[in-house]
Amino acid sequence: MTYLLIAFLVVAVGPLFIATWRTSLAGLGLQGLLLTAMLAQRGWHPSPAAAVLLLDLLVLRAWFVPSHLYGILGRQRRPRRNDVIPANMLSWSIAGTLVILAFHFAGLLVPEGGVAATHLAVATASLLLGLLVLGSENTTLAQVTGALRIENAVALFELSGEHELPLPIQLGVTAVLLATLLLFGRFLRQSRGGVLEEREP
């Protein structure tokens, strides 16, 4: 499990430095794949709710998120470069500090350490980095990326527990995620020409 968690953290941090929208989308897709791998490693108990959760992680997060957004951005011929945080030493230092703080926080909450502490640390770091992305850039794409990073951080934290939601509830949560992704796509289409970024006089 630990190497999957470390990989998740690398995927969360990497796109902050490689500032292209393709890297951001690949990062989100990889996070989905890693979440699926963690679900498999946690132990698979076949049930309809578990199947829906698998669908949520593998189909929605790993495949649909990058492919749907890639299709929209590709058609818009967006410039390759897309900073999710400002490309300067200050922002990178803040990102690094947040990761260290996340590990410190996990150490306080899970003093016995081990995989549980690493799991909490990576989920917290991913959440804080998602909030950093949201707070740093006001472009629609960066904000969509930030919101999806937060969604993945929440999913990662949920995987640390053993409990399973009842089928109707799991279906509802997955349906809400799908609708949210479709709306993010709609906003990305509407953001063409900077409608969502500019301020009216």
Partner 1 sequence: MMNLLAVLFPAAGGSMAGVRRVRPRIVSILLFVAALDAALAISFALRTPASAVVVFGGGYFVADATSRLFLLVVSLVFLGVATYLWTRVKDTPELRDGIEKLVGLSFAFIAAANLSILSHHLVSSWIFLEVTTIVAVPLIQFWPTKARIRASWHYFLFSSVGLALTLLGFACLARGMEAGGGGEPTFFFDALAAAARQPPELWRRIGLVLILLGYGTKLGLAPMYTWLPETYHAAPPAVTALLGAVQFNVALVAVFRVLQLYRATDQAVIGPELVALGLATMSVSAFGIIATRNYVKLIAFASLNHGGVIAIGLGIGRVAAYGVVLYAVSNAFIKAILFLTAGKIEAHYRSEDARVVTGLLRDMPYSGLFFMVGIFALLGFPPFGSFLGELIILSGLIGAGRFAVFAAFCAILTVTFIATGRTVFPMIWGAPTDKAHRAGQTLTSVLPKLILLLALLAMGLYLPAPVNALFRQVAAGLGAQ
What residues line the site for partner 1 (CB under 8 A)? Answer: 109, 127, 134, 140, 143, 147, 150-151, 153-154, 157-158, 160-163, 165, 168-169, 172-173, 175-176, 179-180, 183, 186-187, 190-191, 195-196, 200
CB 149 within 8 A of CB 84: no
Q: How far is the CB of 33 from partner 1 (least distance, A)?
A: 21
Task: Considering the complex, state which of residue 30 and residue 150 has its C-beta at the smaller distance from partner 1.
Answer: 150
The residue (of 3 and 43) whose beta carbon lies closer to partner 1 is: 43
CB of 89 to partner 1, least distance (A): 27
DSSP H helices in 159-195: 167-190
For residue 176, give the nearest of 155, 146, 197, 145 by alpha carbon: 155
Angle at 12 between CA 9 and CA 13, to 5 degrees: 90
Minimum distance between the CB of residue 144 and partner 1, rounded to whole angstroms?
A: 8
For residues 184 and 81, give the distance between their C-alpha atoms in angstroms, rounded to a whole number: 20
Helix 140-158 vs helix 2-17: crossing angle, to nearest 10: 170
| CB nearer partner 1, residue 78 or residue 158 | 158
